[in-house]
Amino acid sequence: MAKRTIMAAGNWKMNKTPTEAVEFINGLKDIVTGCNSEVVTAVPFVCIPGAVEAAKGSNIKIAAQNVHWEASGAYTGEVSCEMLKDLGVDYVIIGHSERREYFGETNEMINKKARAILDAGMIPIICCGETLTQREQGVTAEHVRYQIKVALLGLSAQEVSELVIAYEPIWAIGTGKTATDEQAEEVCAIIRQLIAELYDNDVAEKTRILYGGSVNAGNAKALFSMPNIDGGLVGGASLKIDAFEKIVKHDQ
Ligand code: PGA
């Protein structure tokens, strides 16, 4: 079985203007040329055109941080998959805990978004993860399995083998409190096991599962070396070129 390519995906959240985004991509692209990781930057919607243009000819792929599942219509303030695809977007993050918490995104909505993203020829990065209370109650595995099982409803084996899942314990996001390598590996292994149950081992071996939550230049190497962790979804540390470069080049 071919080894899964490690992905270093930056999630800028609501940071950087379109001008700053272009400067950042221009500064990053030469230094990540030829690296072993797949480099993805998830930028705010308004930064996408400039970021795609700046990333042309480089190995940086551009992601969106959200999308609506309907093709078009009366959904004021929303953006469709066709719009993102037309701009040259490759990946779309869905189900981030901040969207679940502040914007009421449910597992059912995430499932509809995944369907629409795949139909448009892009790849979803599906986020999941437990709260601190859920971890303390010992229901992390059940919670994450439920989130992912619903998110994947109706998707084919081929589709699931190509998409990306990001395990992000909510207590580790933006807190500087990273999950230990073992904690992160344990849940990523549970997710891979679930995919094997829902599909088969072959699919489970192909799906990329990232860890997210206070990934930084110092802890990326150990986390990404765990057998079931295929890279990271990186928030704060993806906003500075030098920190993100070290994460991308964690193996050098
Ligand atoms: P963080 O964010 O790296 O700042 O913890 C990760 C995320 O929310 O994707």
Examine residue 137 and state whether it is found in any structural domain, yes or no. Answer: yes
Instruction: Provide the pLDDT confidence category of residue 118 given band limits of 50, 70 and 90.
Output: very high
Give 214 Cα–ligand 1 centroid separation in angstroms: 6
Q: For residue 252, what pLDDT is reported?
A: 86
Examine residue 1 and state whether it is found in any structural domain, yes or no. Answer: no
Structural domain including 135 reads 7-248
Give 130 Cα–ligand 1 centroid separation in angstroms: 14
| CA 127 to ligand 1: nearest atom | 9
| Chain segment 70-99, per-residue pLDDT in tens | 999 999 999 999 999 999 999 999 999 999
Distance between start and end Cα atoms, the chain = 24
User: Residue 177 contacts by C-beta under 8 Å, 6 or more apart in sequence?
Assistant: 171, 213, 214
Q: For residue 177, what pLDDT is reported?
A: 87
**Number of folded domains that form the chain:** 1
Which CATH number is 14's domain given? 3.20.20.70
| Chain segment 1-19, per-residue pLDDT in tens | 567 999 999 999 999 999 9
| Chain segment 199-221, per-residue pLDDT in tens | 999 999 999 999 999 999 999 99
128 lines ligand 1 (CB under 6 A): no
Q: Is the pLDDT of residue 172 over 90?
A: yes
Q: For residue 1, what pLDDT is reported?
A: 56
Examine residue 32 and state whether it is found in any structural domain, yes or no. Answer: yes
212 lines ligand 1 (CB under 6 A): yes
Examine residue 165 and state whether it is found in any structural domain, yes or no. Answer: yes
Examine residue 25 and state whether it is found in any structural domain, yes or no. Answer: yes
Indicate the average pLDDT of the chain: 97
Examine residue 202 and state whether it is found in any structural domain, yes or no. Answer: yes
Q: pTM of the prediction?
A: 0.97
Examine residue 58 and state whether it is found in any structural domain, yes or no. Answer: yes
Examine residue 2 and state whether it is found in any structural domain, yes or no. Answer: no
User: 26 vs 10, 29, 51, 80, CA distance in Å?
Assistant: 15, 6, 9, 27
